[in-house]
Amino acid sequence: MHEQLITPELRQWIIEQSSAGHSVESVLSAMKASGWHEDTALTALENTLKEHAWPLMQAGQPLPEPALASGATALWAHDREVRVLVSMARPRVLVLGGLLSAQECQEMVELARPRLARSETVINATGGSEVNVARTSEGMFFARAENELCQRIEARIAALVNWPIERGEGLQILRYGPGAEYKPHYDYFDPSQPGTPTILRRGGQRVATLVTYLNTPQAGGATVFPDIGLEVSAVAGNAVFFSYALPHPMTQTLHGGAPVMDGEKWVATKWLREQRFE
């Protein structure tokens, strides 16, 4: 396959199309129709828009990423070996086995249970939060390093994805009862919404998510990625990690929690930010 070069002229054309109000999807379609390979077109769009269309993102900033050698089946994460079950490059998705022990899962559930309340979602217009019918779980947040278990897990995650502990939000614990779900959504904060600048002052954009399953439901409760046809079963101790270089649907990180059909599902979610999270 002939290599296609991303020239200054192409970058300028992308900027002009974006400034004229054309969507990323339409620009990508136009590039493909003109003969650009999809991978090259996506790289050009990501790099150019990161620098020009979304100044809230730091141009060229690395993303959280495990030091994963080609074909590796396991990673050492601070104090524990973690198995690599699935590895995808675009979008960047990893399914990991044994991130937490059975004892750690149970301890996390018991620490969180007394503090559960109906889960809320971010209000894009203000930067606040509210109960939303799309999210029918109960949840709570641990402050970062709130207790010894949180400290241990946070250190493990930081080592796993090569991202400083202080650039992570506190662990959020969620419980989904029978029928509960979280409809497909993105984890980044939409730059077009008026409440986003308020949210970003606490640590910049979210750039990656790690969801760890604290139990195994009897049926249902998978994490689904509709854009790529991926379904990750909820298995106690396992986790799914995904990163997103831009706050835009082109990252293909649309995901949701499928309804729990039998039993309940407990998860611990860790969101990683560009900068120190306060």
Q: Averaged in consecutive runs of 10 residues, what is the pLDDT profile of the chain (278 residues)? A: 82 81 77 90 79 46 88 95 95 97 98 89 57 75 97 98 98 96 94 88 95 98 97 98 88 95 98 96
Please tell me whether residues 42 and 87 are part of one structural domain: no
- Do 90 and 199 sit in the same domain of this protein? yes
Residue 278 in any domain: the answer is: no
> C-alpha distances in angstroms, 222 versus 77, 88, 120, 259?
24, 18, 20, 8
Whole-number pLDDT of residue 11: 86
Indicate whether 48 and 87 sit together in one domain: no
- 176 with 241, same domain? yes
| Residue 59 pLDDT | 40
- How much is the pLDDT for 155? 98
Kindly state whether residue 3 falls inside one of the protein's structural domains.
no
Same domain, 83 and 35: no
Which among 210, 198, 55 has a CA at the least distance from the CA of 129?
A: 198
Query: Dihedrals φ, ψ of 48, to 5°?
Result: -70, -45
92 and 22 share one domain: no
**CA pair distance 274, 201, nearest whole angstrom:** 11
pLDDT of the residue at 127:
54
The reply to whether 232 and 156 lie within a common domain is yes
User: What's the number of domains the chain is made of?
Assistant: 2
Q: Tell whether 132 and 197 lie within a shared domain.
A: yes
* Residue range 165-185, pLDDT digits in tens: 999 999 999 999 999 999 999
Q: Is there a domain that residue 59 lies in?
A: no
Domain range for 117 = 74-273
Is residue 128 domain-shared with residue 230, that is, in the same domain?
A: yes
